[in-house]
Amino acid sequence: MLDELDIRNLGPIREATIAPAQGMTAITGETGAGKSMLLSAIRLISGDAAEAGRVAAGASEAWAQGVFTVSDGAPAAGIAREAGVEPEDGELFLTRTLPASGRSRAVLSGRSVPRSVLSALAGELVTIHGQADQLRIASAAKQREFLDRYAGDEHELGEYLSAWDALRRMDERLLALTSQEASARQQADYLRESIERINRVDPRPGEDVELRARRERIENAAEIASGVGRALSVLDSSQMGVDADGMSAIDLINQAVQSLRSIRVDGVFAEQADRLDAIVNDLSDVVFTLARELDVEGDVEDLDVLNARIHELGELTRRWGPELSDVIAWRDKAVFDVEDLDASPEKIAELEAERGRLYAAALDAAAALSEARAAAAAELAERVTSELDALAMPGARLDITVTPRGLTSDGAGADGPRDAAARARGASLDGRRGKSPADLDAGLLDAHGWDDIAFLFTPFPGSPQLPMGKSASGGELSRLMLALELSAADKRAAGRNGGRNDGTAGDVGGAGVSGDMTFIFDEVDAGVGGKAAVELGRRLARLARSAQVIVVTHLPQVASWADAQFVVSKGIAPLAGVSRGTESGGRSAVVGREPGAGGGSSDAVVSTTVGEVCDEARVREIARMLSGSESDASLDHARELLAQSTLA
């Protein structure tokens, strides 16, 4: 969810701050006031390509930052952690700096990151539905992703991916066996010789490190003995087997203990004697350890054996290392590879039979996934078509086709996906002989199943049914996307309500937000008016019960449904430093200036103001949107519209 959007020196906006509502926020203002720059700012922090021409005249750089709230287990939080950023108090700061000349800079919560990181994060946090953004959903991949999210087919998709991975691994193994037959014998001989050489040496992980440490001790035995001997003579001379001229450290401390214990006057002396006793015990442990080290002997013969073994192990690590563990892992894999290289035709036939079983399992999993998608597609299309009628698109309809790849839709529809899978399995197994795995079943299955999915839109009765993006205007496409998002929200709400769909789109805690997604709609009101505009606003408000919604609109019937409303406007201001004003009844409005207004005097510039309007200020703005004036009639109409724009 977008908590705050900050902008500096972007187009006509010198400085602006917007804090959208958790539910629905409307961005209004006259045409040309600069509303598009707000969307440009969001696209910038979403990782879109930067254009130096967006930097305000006279400024050295443009800057935009979005502060987003993310749940701890959300995908966005995982993406941030992979980039080395931990969400702070559940917040992420997506920042983009665009210099007037030079490369832009992307920053995530104070850490420089590639632009692709912001793109990945924005994909989980923001969905923009505007004329420039609709081509994304026109792609088959995006349509498949939307349908899978709607269907909630994680189980079927997971089962298929598991079967697909097993099939691909077997294909890779078979391909290696069949394509390297010419050099297989030579490679097998090399592997066998290498395995035998490693087995003769019989290395242990870390053995070379242990041996080098032992060699170092033997090479420095005299120095070690001298130093340890001096230490023992000071601590406890009896360990050296000679009489010392003076008392050792342990003797002296024991003498001190006896002296303290002879004092009967105060218990404090006995306590100190106990502490000295503990010191004597620690020193005794040290003496024991040092004396034991002196008993470790090594001679030149031991050193020669160690050096020979270290050299032997080094030969292995130089060829198959760098560590002995790497050598052992290489040998273990080589044993497996030799089996494959030595494989007889019977072995290859055995693997091909196993591949057939894996392929059959993948087909069955693809059929189950296809069934789940087909059921969801019919339900989603019905929901969307119902919504379109209320969005000033009577007679418009959406159809979603789910067709198993390589099979006719008639054949799949007649028998069902599972029967189609059986036919495909039989055809594949009958035609396997003489073909390599790479040529088998080409194009039928991929990492996403076997379905070709298409969203087909009919804007009005009698018009041709065409793929989305080719049969709708920008405004129609925005409303179609709203209908899709509403249908998905209603499906989630039905799941939370135990299968009951009451049309509330997940009314959890009033206008509270479930999930981290922010939906932004631009041009959704194009060509809409009257009652249809009211229904459009109602549906945006409905969607805002399950997610944050921001809508750029010219219609008062839409803006009146918002929980918060921001107004973008332009005016002429004296040339001065950036100033801040306050919209009546709203939050602080930040004023920016664009130097060089055409025809203006040198001491005045065009200013862009962004501010929230509340209470009477909002009534006046709705009245202006209704009639262009603030007459008593328009003000009364505005109050009535605001009062009526409430979800039951």
Compute the average pLDDT of residues 475-479.
79
Q: Which of 66, 63, 50, 62 is nearest to 126 (CA)?
A: 66
Q: At what angle do helices 300-320 and 181-201 cross, to 10 degrees?
A: 160
Measured CA to CA, the distance from residue 613 to residue 18 in angstroms comes to 12
Q: Which two tokens stand for residue 368?
A: 């189950």
| 223 — pLDDT class (breaks 50, 70, 90) | confident
Ranked by mean pLDDT, the top range of 178-182, 411-415, 504-508 is 178-182
Query: What is the structure's pLDDT at 590?
Result: 43
Helix, strand, coil percentages (3-state) for the chain, rounded to 5, are: 55, 15, 30
| 70 — pLDDT class (breaks 50, 70, 90) | very high
Query: What is the structure's pLDDT at 174?
Result: 86
Can you say how many angstroms the Cα of residue 209 is from the centroid of all Cα atoms in its chain? 41
Instruction: Return the minimum-mean-pLDDT range out of 76-85, 400-409, 493-502, 606-615.
Output: 493-502
| 220 — pLDDT class (breaks 50, 70, 90) | confident
Q: Return the higher-pLDDT residue of 321 and 371.
A: 371
> Is 554 within the bounds of a domain?
no
Q: Return the higher-pLDDT residue of 123 and 422.
A: 123
> Is 625 within the bounds of a domain?
no
CATH of the domain at 90: 3.40.50
Measured CA to CA, the distance from residue 590 to residue 603 in angstroms comes to 20
| 410 — pLDDT class (breaks 50, 70, 90) | very low
Query: What is the structure's pLDDT at 440?
Result: 44
Instruction: Return the minimum-mean-pLDDT range out of 50-59, 331-340, 398-407, 582-591.
Output: 582-591
Query: What is the structure's pLDDT at 423?
Result: 54
Compute the average pLDDT of residues 593-600.
42
445 has a pLDDT exceeding 70 = yes
| 517 — pLDDT class (breaks 50, 70, 90) | confident
Using DSSP, state whether 400 is helix, strand or coil.
Answer: strand
Query: What is the structure's pLDDT at 578?
Result: 39
133 has a pLDDT exceeding 70 = no
Strand bridging mode 548-552 / 24-28 = parallel
Amino acid at 7: I
Q: Report the mean per-residue pLDDT for the chain.
A: 80
Same domain, yes or no: 11 and 92: yes
Same domain, yes or no: 241 and 158: no
Same domain, yes or no: 163 and 247: no
Domain that holds residue 61: 2-21+28-124+563-613
Ranked by mean pLDDT, the top range of 241-255, 549-563, 578-592 is 549-563
Query: What is the structure's pLDDT at 296?
Result: 59
- Neighbour count for residue 195 (Cβ, 10 Å): 17
- Per the listing, tokens 């059929």 go with 367
| 182 — pLDDT class (breaks 50, 70, 90) | low
Bridge partners (DSSP) listed for residue 582: 588
Same domain, yes or no: 8 and 78: yes
Compute the average pLDDT of residues 226-246.
69
499 has a pLDDT exceeding 80 = no
236 has a pLDDT exceeding 80 = no
Query: What is the structure's pLDDT at 606?
Result: 66
> Is 130 within the bounds of a domain?
no
> Is 430 within the bounds of a domain?
yes
Query: What is the structure's pLDDT at 575?
Result: 45
Same domain, yes or no: 145 and 103: no
Asked whether the whole model's pTM tops 0.75, one would answer: no
Same domain, yes or no: 6 and 106: yes
Ranked by mean pLDDT, the top range of 78-92, 396-410, 470-484, 501-515 is 78-92
Compute the average pLDDT of residues 403-407.
77
Query: What is the structure's pLDDT at 280?
Result: 84
> Is 552 within the bounds of a domain?
no
Using DSSP, state whether 406 is helix, strand or coil.
Answer: coil
- Kindly write down the DSSP assignment for every residue of 44-95, as one continuous string: HHTTPPP-GGGBPTT-SEEEEEEEEE--TTSHHHHHHHHTT---BTTEEEEE
Query: What is the structure's pLDDT at 577?
Result: 41
Give per-residue pLDDT as tens, 333-372. 999 888 877 766 777 788 899 999 999 999 999 999 999 9
Compute the average pLDDT of residues 509-517.
46
Compute the average pLDDT of residues 622-645.
91
Amino acid at 336: F
Same domain, yes or no: 8 and 98: yes
Query: What is the structure's pLDDT at 572?
Result: 62
Query: What is the structure's pLDDT at 151?
Result: 87
Instruction: Return the minimum-mean-pLDDT range out of 291-295, 317-321, 375-379.
Output: 291-295
> Is 37 within the bounds of a domain?
yes
Same domain, yes or no: 170 and 262: no
Same domain, yes or no: 243 and 159: no
> Is 632 within the bounds of a domain?
no
Total count of domains within the chain:
3
- Of 427, 449, 467, the last residue of a domain is 467
Give per-residue pLDDT as tens, 524-563. 888 788 888 898 999 999 999 989 999 999 999 999 999 9
| 433 — pLDDT class (breaks 50, 70, 90) | very low
| 411 — pLDDT class (breaks 50, 70, 90) | very low
Query: What is the structure's pLDDT at 438?
Result: 42
Reduced 3-state DSSP string for 575-607: CCCCCEEECCCCCEEEEEEECCCCCCCCCEEEE
Cβ–Cβ < 8 Å for 613, 566: yes
**What is the layout of strands, in order, in the sheet containing 451-458?**
397-404, 451-458, 466-467
Same domain, yes or no: 149 and 103: no
- Of 295, 314, 333, the last residue of a domain is 314
In percent, how much of the chain has pLDDT > 70?
A: 79
| 239 — pLDDT class (breaks 50, 70, 90) | low
Query: What is the structure's pLDDT at 371?
Result: 93
For 209, half-sphere exposure in the C-beta direction (CA atoms, 13 angstrom radius) is 7
> Is 190 within the bounds of a domain?
no
382 has a pLDDT exceeding 90 = yes
Q: Please confirm whether the linkage preceding 20 is cis (ω < 30° from 0).
A: no
Same domain, yes or no: 276 and 384: no
- Of 467, 502, 531, the last residue of a domain is 467
Same domain, yes or no: 214 and 267: yes
244 has a pLDDT exceeding 80 = no
Query: What is the structure's pLDDT at 349?
Result: 85
